[in-house]
Amino acid sequence: MEEIKLMKGNEAFAEAVIREGVDAYFGYPITPQSEVIEYLMLEEPYKRTGMVVLQAESEIGAIHMVYGAAGAGKKAVTSSSSPGISLKQEGISYMAGSELPCVMLNVVRGGPGLGTIQPSQADYFQTVKGGGHGDYKLIVLAPASVQEMADFVEDGFKMAFKYRTPVMLLSDGLIGQMMEKVQLKPQKARLSNEEIREKYGSWATIGHKPEERTIITSLELKSERQEKHNHKLQAKYREIEKKEVRLEKFNCENADYLLVAYGSSARICQKTIQLGKEKGINIGLIRPITLWPFPSDEINKAADKVKGVLSVELSAGQMVDDVRLAVNGKVPVEHYGRFGGMIHSPDEVLEALEKNFIK
Amino acid sequence: MTEEIIIAGFGGQGVLSMGKILAYSGIMQDQEVSWMPSYGPEMRGGTANVTVILSDEKISSPVLRNFDTAIVLNQPSMNKFEETVKPGGILLYDPNGILHPPTRKDIRIYKIEGALEASRMKSSKTFNMIVLGAYLKINPVVKMENVLKGLKKSLPERHHHLIPLNEEAIKVGLEKVEKVS
């Protein structure tokens, strides 16, 4: 049994990256995410496992280093916060197009532009709807605790390699900066070059003989072939939608109203359920753990039993679009959220629910 | 049992580390804990605050509007947090630099001359532990043995020689806290 530690979300992520047997981390500091690279530099994993930790010249440099490492079948990680993730979008689209696995972390801060360094969930559209160019999807995991900041590293890599696709952990300044108890997994060994050849040799660029060579590219000038490649990507995305949806439900049996919230807002909404009970209001909560694929079916089913659905996020209303599509007009769906770095309290969520559906 | 605490003061007063020691002490007695700082410009010398929750159950929201206890260490924090204490809750403050003392009648108010006692101990760094001691006298949410274990866990090893001084500071806080109303 591993020791229980008190860690910040960012630190737990960094330690989990080392223990996952990751080959390389490439990043660039930005608040509220800088503890990731600070922790890695202090821990010196290059001494523990041989893992590379490198501060790139920029976020754009970092994501393309991830592209290079992933192309060679290595486990590579990058992390940043909102403005830095915007810079990475070109490389992310290239990785999706080239079918390269990686795990990325966005510790979201308030925007737009440089915005503020306080927590926000306003990068939902960027992460779930594209961000970069072209028809692609990222698998998006939304941690709601320090423990999940660690656990989702392993989960993310499993899916990233299974589907050969980039995975994003969409966190925020609150989960990144807060400290909670965390229990870490034991150290995994990094794969040897022989193991990489065996597992990923069919696609990775690892020094093949000329007749067996593999090419990692997102470029295909013949449109017929590019369409075919796109069909392949879309078939993969349909499979992910079928198999990888994850969610958590709270108090959904016999609830009269339903909250839908992810990450830090899902934590806040759990307290709202309790405050509602004290006032005789029966509230349920669906917490999407994967934002893509989105738990549309479960939300649609839950909508049958309630009078209204409130989508709660630290934004002006982004996920609410997906909630509305899921509910498909069965009951009213409204949005509530503070934004620009402000955080709603559990009481404010309850007041919003009452205002929208009860008063 | 769940105890929801806000600790607020200036950056440099040891607000965040006091919260961290409290959180670690909670872990030492198998409680769930959360420590949520206000980070950013505050870390560069302005006001700083941290929300600490200790609970026997899984903690839901780390973000709260009202608190069981507010530990207030400067006037801006008094202005902001006096009103957030739940009725019947605790407000503990250091009168040093407080121009407008708290006025609420529906909460329990205590004071600790933390800055004064720290200067008597000839170590300004003991300030936060004096205040922690005062809080633990009013509300022994964590056992003293667990606080000492928590101190050991949260201080880097190179500072472990300071543990006896911190322990002494906690004792000063336990003795010197006064009930105001």
Q: What is the pLDDT of residues A1-19, one digit of tens each?
A: 578 999 999 999 999 999 9
Tell whether the model's pLDDT for residue B43 goes beyond 70: no
Contact flag B65-A346 (C-beta cutoff 8 Å) = yes
A176 plus A40 within the same structural domain? yes
Q: What is the pLDDT of residue B155?
A: 87
Tens digits of residue pLDDT in B71-112: 999 999 999 999 999 999 999 999 999 999 999 999 999 999
Mean per-residue pLDDT over chain A, rounded: 97
A260 plus A152 within the same structural domain? no
**Which of chain A's residues have a Cβ under 8 Å away from the Cβ of B2?**
none
**Which of chain A's residues have a Cβ under 8 Å away from the Cβ of B39?**
31-32, 117, 173, 177
Mean pLDDT of A136-165: 98
For residue B36, give the nearest of A178, A271, A272 by CB distance. A178
Q: Is A197 on the interface with B (CB under 8 A)?
A: no
Q: Chain A to chain B, count of Cβ pairs less than 8 Å apart?
A: 75
For residue A347, give the nearest of B36, B65, B153 by CB distance. B65
**Residue A303 contacts residue A309 (beta carbons within 8 Å):** yes
Contact flag A271-B66 (C-beta cutoff 8 Å) = no
Give B45's pLDDT tier (boundaries 50, 70, 90). low
For residue B61, give the nearest of A177, A179, A346 by CB distance. A346
> Which residue of A3, A4, A6, A274 to mutate against B (max B Cβ within 10 Å)?
A6
* Domain containing residue A347: 248-358
Contact flag B27-A180 (C-beta cutoff 8 Å) = no
A174 plus A294 within the same structural domain? no
Burial class (CB in 10 A: 0-12, 13-18, 19+), A273: buried
A331: domain CATH number? 3.40.50.920
Tell whether the model's pLDDT for residue A353 goes beyond 60: yes
A123 plus A253 within the same structural domain? no
Tell whether the model's pLDDT for residue A56 goes beyond 60: yes
Contact flag A177-B36 (C-beta cutoff 8 Å) = yes
A12: domain CATH number? 3.40.50.970
**Boundary-marking domain end, from A183, A210, A240:** A183
Q: Determine, yes or no, domain membership for A218.
A: no
**Which of chain A's residues have a Cβ under 8 Å away from the Cβ of B20?**
6, 179
**Boundary-marking domain end, from A162, A183, A204:** A183
**Which of chain B's residues have a Cβ under 8 Å away from the Cβ of A343?**
63
Tens digits of residue pLDDT in B111-156: 999 999 999 999 999 999 999 999 999 999 999 999 999 999 888 8
**Residue A174 contacts residue A127 (beta carbons within 8 Å):** no
Contact flag A4-B27 (C-beta cutoff 8 Å) = yes
- For each of the domains in chain B, give its residue range(s) and CATH number, in order of start: 2-179 (3.40.920.10)
Q: Total domain count for chain A?
A: 2
Q: H helices of chain A, where?
A: 9-19, 35-43, 45-48, 59-71, 82-97, 124-128, 146-163, 173-177, 193-200, 223-243, 263-278, 296-303, 319-327, 346-353
Q: What is the pLDDT of residue B44?
A: 58
ipTM score for this prediction: 0.93
Q: Determine, yes or no, domain membership for A318.
A: yes
Q: Determine, yes or no, domain membership for A46.
A: yes
Q: Which two tokens stand for residue A289?
A: 């753990």
Q: Is A6 on the interface with B (CB under 8 A)?
A: yes
CA-based nearest distance A293→chain B, Å = 25
Contact flag B65-A345 (C-beta cutoff 8 Å) = yes
A176 plus A283 within the same structural domain? no
Q: Is A107 on the interface with B (CB under 8 A)?
A: no
Mean pLDDT of A192-209: 94
CA-nearest residue of chain A to B24? A6
Tell whether the model's pLDDT for residue A43 goes beyond 60: yes
Q: Is A42 on the interface with B (CB under 8 A)?
A: no
Q: Is A57 on the interface with B (CB under 8 A)?
A: no
Contact flag B65-A173 (C-beta cutoff 8 Å) = no
Tell whether the model's pLDDT for residue B42 goes beyond 70: no
Q: Determine, yes or no, domain membership for A303.
A: yes
Q: Is A149 on the interface with B (CB under 8 A)?
A: no
Q: What is the pLDDT of residue A110?
A: 96
A178 plus A270 within the same structural domain? no
Mean per-residue pLDDT over chain B, rounded: 93
**Which of chain B's residues have a Cβ under 8 Å away from the Cβ of A179?**
20, 23, 33-36
**Residue A100 contacts residue A79 (beta carbons within 8 Å):** no
Q: Is A177 on the interface with B (CB under 8 A)?
A: yes
A152 plus A13 within the same structural domain? yes
Tell whether the model's pLDDT for residue A359 goes beyond 90: no
A143 plus A260 within the same structural domain? no
Tens digits of residue pLDDT in A89-126: 999 999 999 999 999 999 999 999 999 999 999 999 99
Overall size of chain A counted in residues: 359
DSSP code string of B110-153: EE--HHHHHHHTT-GGGHHHHHHHHHHHH---S-HHHHHHHHHH
> What b/e sequence results for A146-156 when a residue is b if at least 16 CB atoms lie within 10 Å of its CB, and e otherwise?
bbbbbbbbbbb
Q: Determine, yes or no, domain membership for A189.
A: no
Type of residue at A166: P
A254 plus A172 within the same structural domain? no
Percent of chain A whose predicted confidence (pLDDT) is above 90? 97
CA-nearest residue of chain A to B40? A117
CA-nearest residue of chain A to B31? A181
| DSSP run (H or E) holding B175 | helix B163-176
Q: Determine, yes or no, domain membership for A42.
A: yes
A82 plus A173 within the same structural domain? yes
Q: Is A345 on the interface with B (CB under 8 A)?
A: yes
Residues of B contacting chain A (CB within 8 angstroms): 20, 23-24, 27, 32-37, 39-40, 59-66, 153-154
Q: Please list, in sequence order, all residues whose beta carbon lies within 8 angstroms of the beta carbon of residue A19, skipping any fewer than 6 positions away.
A: A184, A185, A186, A187, A188
CA-based nearest distance A283→chain B, Å = 15
With both helix axes pointing from N to C terminus, report the angle between A346-353 and A263-278 in degrees, rounded to the nearest 10: 70
**Which of chain A's residues have a Cβ under 8 Å away from the Cβ of B66?**
347
A29 plus A132 within the same structural domain? yes
Tell whether the model's pLDDT for residue B41 goes beyond 80: no
- What gap in Å lies between CA A179 and CA B26, rounded to an integer? 13
| DSSP run (H or E) holding A140 | strand A139-141
CA-based nearest distance B15→chain A, Å = 15
**Boundary-marking domain end, from A148, A183, A218:** A183
Q: Determine, yes or no, domain membership for A154.
A: yes
Q: Is the dihedral of CA A140, A141, A144, A148 positive or negative?
A: negative
**Which of chain A's residues have a Cβ under 8 Å away from the Cβ of B64?**
271, 345-346
Q: Determine, yes or no, domain membership for A152.
A: yes
Name beta bridge partners: A334.
A310
